[in-house]
Amino acid sequence: MDIGKTGQILLADIGGTNARFALTQSGLQPGQFDQTGPIDYVKVADFPTVREAIADVLGRRSGGKPPQRAVLAVAGPVTNNRCVMTNSPWVIDGNELQPALGFDSVHVLNDFEVVAWSLPALQPADLIPLGGQDGLPGEPLLVVGPGTGFGVSCLVERHGSRLAVVTEAGHATLPAENEREERVIACLRKRLGHVSIERGALSGSGLQNLYEALAEIDGAQVPHRDAAGITKAALEGSCPVSRATLEMFCAILGSVAGNLAVTFGARGGVYVAGGIVPRFPEFLIASAFRARFEAKGRFQDYLRNIPTRLVIKPDASFVGLKMFADHNVD
């Protein structure tokens, strides 16, 4: 890696509805977010292709000279530097964008891979502690995130090089820790067949599935609610089923995060991100999350030393994009 190589870089965080773009300078001080310029917000529906959206942003921002490189985070699986977006018509292909827009290189990364890259640069104000010790320097850092889906990525550092491991852990089978959770999973199995971590609990649709399953096994009559409505009713205390749903959600999140921590040996720390949990940090802290995180029998002491933290920085993805750009100079 040649940190001395400087040049302007386009950073982007591309979702199904909105895309955000910013320009930064490489080769100065790796990971310094304050060197990233203002963020442009673009509606995906306003442009037929990502190429046209980027050209529009650069036409307004770069003064006619294209950046040397681009690093793009996308909400979807990336294969061979290419992502076919699930919820939009855009296809993000770095190998096509590079010559078409005059970049020296284009890197396309999964959005949770980018969050993993951000972890070493996050500051105390960007995080809420959720228990544990300080973490061991140089050990793997794990990030999990319930949102539209359930994202998992792990940042591994060896001999000065970093690698973000991208996973599909959200599609692993949802585990049960007690009889009540077994009954919920059995109920969901009748509807879904395979009950994954994502669909069974740890996502927006998973939270709704939990709510409906708890109502069914308890014989409770409840109105239809989406994830936001369940969360609101739980926090207000206006619906016992909603509150029980959010409590189970937090407990399962703790168990799954603990399982992944021992799987990856994430003794550097475990971070919770995504769009759901930052809405109720106090509830999470008071929940069974941390107790369930540590409840691994003979490995309880191992888990007790691992810190867990909630990421509350809205633009953590741009920190990760900058970190990746500074540590991967072409």
**pLDDT exceeds cutoff 50 at 136:** yes
Residue 3's pLDDT is what? 38
Let me know if domain 7-118+313-327 sits in CATH 3.40.50.720: no
Largest CA distance in the chain: 65
Cα separation of 161 and 222, whole Å? 52
Residue 5's pLDDT is what? 47
Residue 286's pLDDT is what? 97
* pLDDT tens digit sequence for 8-22: 899 999 988 899 999
Q: Per-residue confidence at 315, pLDDT binned at 50, 70, 90?
A: confident
Neighbours of 178 (CB within 10 A): 10
Of 49, 42, 106, nearest to 73 by C-alpha is 106
Give the domain 169-311 fold: Hexokinase; domain 1 (3.40.367)
Neighbours of 84 (CB within 10 A): 15
The pLDDT mean for the chain works out to: 91
**pLDDT exceeds cutoff 70 at 186:** yes
Q: Where are the domains of the chain?
A: 7-118+313-327, 169-311
Whether pTM exceeds 0.75 = yes
Pick from 55-64, 169-178, 263-272, 313-322: least confident: 55-64
Contact between residue 216 and residue 186 where contact means Cβ atoms under 8 Å apart: no
Within the chain, how many helices (H) and strands (E) appear? Answer: 12, 13
* pLDDT tens digit sequence for 47-64: 999 999 999 999 887 666
Q: Which residue has the higher pLDDT, 8 or 37?
A: 8
Residue 290's pLDDT is what? 98
Residue 185's pLDDT is what? 98
**Cα–Cα–Cα angle for 129, 134, 138, rounded to 5 degrees:** 120
Amino acid at 200: G
Residue 63's pLDDT is what? 65
